[in-house]
Amino acid sequence: MSIYQAGLEAVKGSVVVNKAFQKEFFSGANFHVVAIGKAADSMLQGVPENKIISALLISKHNHISGRFKHASNIQCIESDHPIPKQSSLKAGKALIRYLEKLPTKEPCLFLISGGTSSLVEVVENGWSLSELAALTDYLLANAYSINEINAVRRRVSKIKGGGLCAYLGEREISCLMISDVPNNDPADIGSGLLFGERKQSLLPKLPKPWGEKIPLATQGLASHAFDWRIIASLDIAKKAAGKHAKALGYAVQIVPNFLEGDASWVAKTCIKTLKNGPDSLFIWGGETTIKLPNDAGKGGRNQHLALAASIIIQGRQEIVLLAAGTDGSDGVTEATGALVDNQTIKKGEKLGLAANDYLRRADSYHYFDQTDELIFTGATGTNVMDLLIGIAKS
């Protein structure tokens, strides 16, 4: 857990934004600030107070601190994630209204993190909120990758894929981002509020009527150049976790490959590495998927992966695996993952739990809730996808 926490601390919003200011990335001017995402509150905390003229803060419910809720120059909006709801549309209107009311020549700083795609939206003509919500739910439940989901989101939004640039005017713009996407493409972070696609991405195959309604083209790139930087990513978290593990005396293997695809399949791959690899602590990162059954229970991709892994590792060989998100939540649960070992299945059996049945129903939360192996962090102030940390004793 301390190794995992070291990874989180290295990419915490307040920490990485403060470092950006210390490195003099910005001019001496003060800013109007737009902070959006699950890490928005923490990122805004990293901006020196004397630099903030005004701010709009949009984040997930229960992710905004009292410090900002009571500030006279900061407008706070709580919205929904991962499925957009009416609050998402209200946040979209508030965002446009805020930008349109700003003095013409005064600079604006954007702080963007994961979750932005759902938290703030202005849907394209011909689309309703209910259609967008149903489409998002379908994509999440049917194992589409985050890149595929964001490719769809950009095409059904007036403000994604660079669409928000139409409301910026000629002001000076800066942007700091925490990446929650593979390859750290700014067009995928928050579905690219300020960035059009560098290369037209292919739309995934979708059932009718969605596939016929979604346009092929996205919005263009920003009409004027601006300074931007990705200040936190999965690789930074993995390296920080590895550094802390070495300080604790472990031999460490940081696996460069990005974990993606079916969570159960990834679990098998990682456990095979632990069983057959050198005596080291292994650190992986990525974002897996689950195809949910019709009778799906409660859980998330990390809890599902951990349960699949615990079925494989039961036995005499000592193996410990942590699978957790970096944002403080996993799926629609308040847990962020699970910490399992080769005794997890035995614990369940003593309680009368059939692990394979819980796995089939994608009900990992209720399994681990009874074996007391869930990880709870609350809002972490960051979001750089998922970390897996494992060790086996030969």
Whether residue 109 is predicted with pLDDT greater than 50 in this model: the reply is yes
Task: Convert the pLDDT of each residue in 10-64 to its tens digit.
Answer: 999 999 999 999 886 666 679 999 999 999 999 999 999 999 999 999 999 999 9
Task: Convert the pLDDT of each residue in 155-190 to its tens digit.
Answer: 899 999 999 999 998 888 999 999 999 999 999 999
Other beta carbons within 10 angstroms of residue 360's beta carbon come to 13
Cis peptide before 82 (omega within 30 of 0): yes
Q: What is the pTM of this model?
A: 0.94
Average pLDDT, the chain: 93
Q: Which domains does the chain carry?
A: 2-232 (3.40.50.10180), 235-393 (3.40.1480.10)
Q: How far apart are CA 18 and CA 28, in angstroms?
A: 15
Q: How far apart are CA 241 and CA 250, in angstroms?
A: 11
Q: How far apart are CA 17 and CA 151, in angstroms?
A: 28
Average pLDDT of the residues in 96-107? 94
Strand partners of residue 109: 33, 174
Coil vs helix vs strand at 9: helix
Task: Convert the pLDDT of each residue in 206-234 to its tens digit.
Answer: 888 887 788 766 555 444 568 899 999 99
Cis peptide before 209 (omega within 30 of 0): yes
Average pLDDT of the residues in 351-362? 98
Phi and psi at 40, nearest 5°, equal: -60, -45
Q: How far apart are CA 390 and CA 394, in angstroms?
A: 13
- The predicted pLDDT at position 27 comes to 62
Q: Which ranges of the chain does DSSP label H, i.e. alpha helix?
A: 2-10, 13-22, 40-45, 66-69, 86-101, 116-119, 129-141, 146-155, 210-213, 234-247, 263-276, 301-313, 344-350, 355-360, 364-371
- The predicted pLDDT at position 393 comes to 86
Task: Convert the pLDDT of each residue in 256-311 to its tens digit.
Answer: 999 999 999 999 999 999 998 888 999 999 999 999 999 999 999 999 999 999 99
Average pLDDT of the residues in 310-329? 95
